Amino acid sequence: MTRGPRSTRTPESSQGSPLDVRSSGILLHVSSLPGPHGHGDLGPPALAFADFLKQAGQGWWQMLPIGPVGGGFSPYDSASAFAGNPEFVSLELLHRDGLLRDDEIRAPRSLAASKRSRYAAARRFRWPRLELAHARWAERASRPERSEFERFAEDNSWWLDDYALFAALAEREGSGTCWAGWSADLVARRPAALARARARLAERISLHAFLQFEFDRQWKALKAYCSHRNVLLLGDVPMFVAYGAADVWGHQDLFQLDARGHRQALAGVPPDYFSRTGQLWGNPLYRWEVLERTGFDWWLRRFRKVLDRFDALRLDHFIGFHRCWEVPARARSARRGRFRLVPGRALLSLARAALGGVPFLAEDLGLVTEEVRALRDAFELPGMRVLQFGFSEGAEVYEPHRFPRRSVVYTGTHDNDTLMGWLGARPPPGVEKRAFLAQRKRALDYVGAGTRERHWDFIRIALMSVANTAIFPLQDILGLGSRARMNVPGTPAGNWSWRVGSAELTIPIAERLAQMCSLYERLPSQRTVVSD
């Protein structure tokens, strides 16, 4: 007699990874939250979204990287792998704490009513008020409050000291100047030059340290609020860091740079589904031999810091833990490059021992080889299955009836069109029309989608699949079209700006999603481990 799969209810705390448990969640970046100050932050709308997740029966809130944004306001081009985005510090919570007045947080209607993230305008409004809150805190803080700040600064000094100085120097030098264009003494980090800079920029350094302290306090409050509602947080760790980041300036020996700090090679990916010429990211590549000699100390510190904020992590571009696409520094596209092997197995082995486990999700999209799959499976990491990829010829691994249990199914990612946009799209340049239409017909036939509410049919297929975890971009839950797309890879502007309106997060939508999660045993109260 053949037995079917066994479903075992087990207390979540006993599991090796929370991603081993049957569950569901929503992908929404902090910037996409509603709110009065131009883009989302860690204030009341974030707490309201946690309430919506609970009502909708969701066990996960997935976010994009939460560090300071870089070029094009991209969260993947951050000035720090450790700092939180100071522009996510809630002015409303600073007002609650007595550091800002009512009239000071009252934003122009153009910011409060904006349906898109208005980063530049929000920055002009937020920063003077962040500076004012810091000045008042410096004058009024009680002894216990100062002690709390001092403990934070001491515990995080290993990254905070460099970051706060870097941020102050970057302000002084201007946003158009990379650290490699600073004075030779500062580029080389000569102790006397650093000491002079710390003395001259003491006030701005204090501001940046204070904002990290406030970010940490507000983040911990949000995480505790989510935890109380049985909502776990899923973070995102980019494989590479920005060239203009504090981490590269502070650890030049860990990156492929010349004596003047210039990049010797660039990171990217070869031509793939997203781009016929590949993607030239421009990040500096690691000196893996140096990292390995240090016991991967920088990476382990990074994992610990992000896991202090999140319950599990998505390892972006997991392929990069096996091999990286190395492009010459002067190349104009990613076509001309070569693969270099990476000691990812050694790194992940040390991480598992040091962290007591690896609650990681492998973003295993793109040119995935058998070696990449073997690395993922050696550490029992779930991979990603994206429904939009499942219905073209040769993409059978993404068909729902072929999913392994140890996987996370998505309707789409932040780099895809929305589900409804994808279903209604025209063939992109270079794609044969007949094959494109056949792919879409197969998707609709497979899902059994009707003429209305097609997005719910795809959501149902994902929820009923055997994949342990199902994650949906909020745009797909709401059935939004291409105008709600978060990012178009390879385009320098117009991305990362979609926001949800508070009126869109309705009770009927939450109840419908909760009912479907209940039917397919994905509610937090039904959390189960399914073994073959």
Model confidence at 491: pLDDT above 70: yes
For 80-136, write each residue's pLDDT tens digit. 999 999 999 999 999 999 999 999 999 998 898 888 999 999 999 999 999 999 999
Is 428 exposed, middle or buried (CB count within 10 Å of its CB: 0-12, 13-18, 19+)? exposed
Q: Show the domain range for 511.
A: 6-22+45-240+299-320+358-487+507-531
Of 25-29, 505-509, 525-529, the poorest mean pLDDT is in 525-529
**3-state SS string over 346-384?**
HHHHHHHHHHCCCCEEECCCCCCCHHHHHHHHHCCCCEE
Question: Higher pLDDT residue, 532 or 49?
Answer: 49
Q: Give the per-residue pLDDT at 15.
A: 47
Residue 333 CB coordination number (10 Å): 15
Q: Give the per-residue pLDDT at 2.
A: 37
Model confidence at 4: pLDDT above 50: no
Cα distances from 332 to residues 177, 327, 329, in angstroms, run: 21, 9, 9
Residue 442 lies in a domain: yes
* Secondary structure of residue 222 in the 3-state scheme: helix
Supply 7's token pair. 């479903």
pLDDT (mean) for 328-336: 89
Residue 290 lies in a domain: no
Q: Give the per-residue pLDDT at 530.
A: 57
Residue 226 lies in a domain: yes
Question: Higher pLDDT residue, 114 or 198?
Answer: 198
Is 62 exposed, middle or buried (CB count within 10 Å of its CB: 0-12, 13-18, 19+)? buried
Our answer to whether residue 316 is catalytic in this structure is: yes
Q: pLDDT grade, residue 332 (50/70/90)?
A: confident
Supply 443's token pair. 């998707």
Question: Higher pLDDT residue, 526 or 484?
Answer: 484
Cα distances from 3 to residues 6, 403, 468, 527, 531, in angstroms, run: 8, 19, 20, 22, 12
Given the residues 173, 415, 457, 521, the one annotated as active site = 415
Question: Higher pLDDT residue, 304 or 489?
Answer: 304
CATH number at residue 56: 3.20.20.80
Residue 117 lies in a domain: yes
Model confidence at 275: pLDDT above 80: no
> CA-CA distance, 510 to 499, in Å (whole number)?
18
Q: pLDDT grade, residue 6 (50/70/90)?
A: very low
Q: How many domains does the chain have?
A: 1
Residue 266 lies in a domain: no
Q: Give the per-residue pLDDT at 529.
A: 62
pLDDT (mean) for 201-217: 98
Q: pLDDT grade, residue 274 (50/70/90)?
A: low
Which residues, including other chains, have CB under 8 Å from residue 338's CB and lie 6 or more apart? 325, 326
The strand pairing partners of 469, in sequence order, are 23, 408
Q: pLDDT grade, residue 531 (50/70/90)?
A: low
Residue 188 lies in a domain: yes
For 9-57, write each residue's pLDDT tens digit. 433 333 479 999 999 999 999 999 999 999 999 999 999 999 999 999 9
Q: Give the per-residue pLDDT at 176.
A: 77
Model confidence at 532: pLDDT above 90: no
Residue 304 lies in a domain: yes
Given the residues 316, 364, 417, 476, the one annotated as active site = 316
Model confidence at 528: pLDDT above 80: no
Percentage of the chain surpassing pLDDT 70?
A: 96
Instruction: Please enumerate, as own/partner, the contacts of 286-294 that have beta carbons within 8 Å and a separation of 24 or more.
Output: 286/240, 286/254, 286/255, 286/256, 286/324, 286/342, 287/253, 287/254, 287/255, 287/256, 288/342, 288/343, 290/253, 290/254, 291/254, 291/347, 292/343, 292/346, 292/347
**Whether 410 contacts 384, CB under 8 Å:** yes
Q: Dihedral angle at the C-alpha atoms of 437, 439, 443, 449, nearest 10 degrees? A: 0
Residue 417 lies in a domain: yes
Q: Give the per-residue pLDDT at 112.
A: 82
Model confidence at 394: pLDDT above 90: no
Q: Give the per-residue pLDDT at 278.
A: 85
> CA-CA distance, 310 to 93, in Å (whole number)?
21
Token look-up 């985005």 returns 85
Of 244-248, 269-273, 461-465, 510-514, the poorest mean pLDDT is in 269-273
Given the residues 311, 363, 364, 417, the one annotated as active site = 363
Q: pLDDT grade, residue 463 (50/70/90)?
A: very high
Token look-up 């209607």 returns 109
Is 403 exposed, middle or buried (CB count within 10 Å of its CB: 0-12, 13-18, 19+)? buried
Question: Higher pLDDT residue, 430 or 319?
Answer: 319
Is 40 exposed, middle or buried (CB count within 10 Å of its CB: 0-12, 13-18, 19+)? buried
Model confidence at 3: pLDDT above 50: no
Q: Give the per-residue pLDDT at 273.
A: 65
Q: pLDDT grade, residue 279 (50/70/90)?
A: confident
